[in-house]
């Protein structure tokens, strides 16, 4: 799938604004700053009730008219979900059954296979884009290991494979960009990010190698991952580099 809602990721990389507080207010601000897609982080917003979640999603979509993706990130992958895994997955499943719900869903490759496959099937049954993700906050796997992780994501049903790693050297960052280019040349949609100060530049450079999504913060002091840059700066630099 080459789209998230109305946004065609084959034509241009999307700048995704991460919504982690005051969802409606922050989403409006993200729209004003030119966000292409909004990511609603249920775990950071502390939302556990599907009815409340869909109410917020519908309100945001009506006020911003921007495609919206949802994730409920596990603690193992850097999230703040509190509670049982079945409840975390169940919340995502419930959102997919609502009309006018999210345009895309993000589920981790590390989630239990049975539960993960349920989310993927439900998303595809409802015509939603599936992002399967992996986040390594400690290191950057080898070039071959990164390729293997992304291949596993596509085999599991990803429309977009998202890989975020922590580089310890410039070689790590270069390897990530090489992996990005390799899958792009094969017609696969990937989103790749090198986190932290060492990989900060990949937030604007990786799209030049084919990364279809890059994630940005709305405010300078509120980011969901190490090295995330402010939305307006990312937009400005990406336009300069096009």
Q: Secondary structure of 83-125 in the HEC alphabet? A: CCHHHHHHHHHHHHCCCCCCCEEEEECCCCHHHHHHHHHHHHH
Please say if the pLDDT value at position 184 is more than 90. yes
**In 10 A of CB 186, how many CB atoms?**
10
SS3 call for 54: helix
**77 band by pLDDT with thresholds 50, 70 and 90:** confident
Hey, which residues are catalytic here?
Answer: 135, 162
Nearest CA among 11, 6, 5, 19 for reference residue 212: 11
**216 band by pLDDT with thresholds 50, 70 and 90:** very high
Q: What value does the mean pLDDT take over residues 56-83?
A: 90
Q: What is the DSSP-derived secondary structure letter of residue 13?
A: P
* Contact indicator for 153, 134 with CB cutoff of 8 Å: yes
* Contact indicator for 165, 176 with CB cutoff of 8 Å: yes
- Provide the token pair at 90: 């169940």
Give the chain's mean pLDDT.
92
CB contact set of 72 (below 8 Å; sequence gap of 6+): 41, 42, 43, 79, 81, 88, 91, 92
Looking at residue 227, what is its pLDDT? 65
Q: What value does the mean pLDDT take over residues 84-88?
A: 88
SS3 call for 50: helix
Domains with residue ranges and CATH for the chain: 7-236 (3.20.20.70)
Please say if the pLDDT value at position 212 is more than 60. yes
Render pLDDT for 130-177 as a digit per residue (tens, 0 to 9): 999 999 999 999 999 999 999 999 999 999 999 999 999 999 999 999
Specify the higher pLDDT residue, 42 or 100.
Answer: 42
- pTM for the whole thing? 0.94
């Amino acid at each position: 799938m080459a789209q998230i809602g109305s946004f065609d990721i084959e034509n241009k990389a999307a700048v995704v604004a991460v919504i982690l507080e005051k969802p409606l207010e922050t989403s409006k601000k993200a729209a004003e700053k030119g966000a292409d897609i909004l990511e609603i982080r249920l775990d950071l917003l502390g939302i556990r009730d599907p009815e409340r979640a869909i109410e917020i999603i519908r309100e945001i979509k009506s006020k911003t008219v921007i495609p919206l993706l949802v994730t409920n990130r596990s603690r193992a992958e850097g999230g703040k979900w509190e509670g049982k895994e079945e409840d975390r997955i169940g919340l995502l499943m419930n959102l997919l059954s609502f009309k006018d719900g999210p345009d895309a869903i993000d589920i981790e490759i590390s989630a239990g296979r049975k539960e993960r496959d349920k989310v993927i099937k439900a998303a595809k049954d409802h015509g939603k884009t599936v992002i399967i993700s992996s986040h390594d906050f400690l290191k950057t796997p080898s070039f071959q290991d990164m390729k293997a992780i992304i291949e596993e994501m596509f085999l599991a049903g990803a429309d977009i494979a998202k890989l975020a790693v922590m580089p310890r050297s410039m070689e790590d960052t270069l390897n990530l960009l090489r992996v990005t280019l390799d899958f792009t040349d094969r017609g696969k949609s990937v989103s790749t990010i090198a986190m932290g100060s060492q990989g900060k530049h990949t937030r604007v450079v990786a799209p030049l190698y084919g990364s279809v999504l890059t994630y940005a913060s709305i405010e300078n002091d509120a980011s969901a991952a190490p090295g995330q840059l402010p939305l307006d700066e990312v937009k400005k630099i990406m336009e300069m580099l096009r």
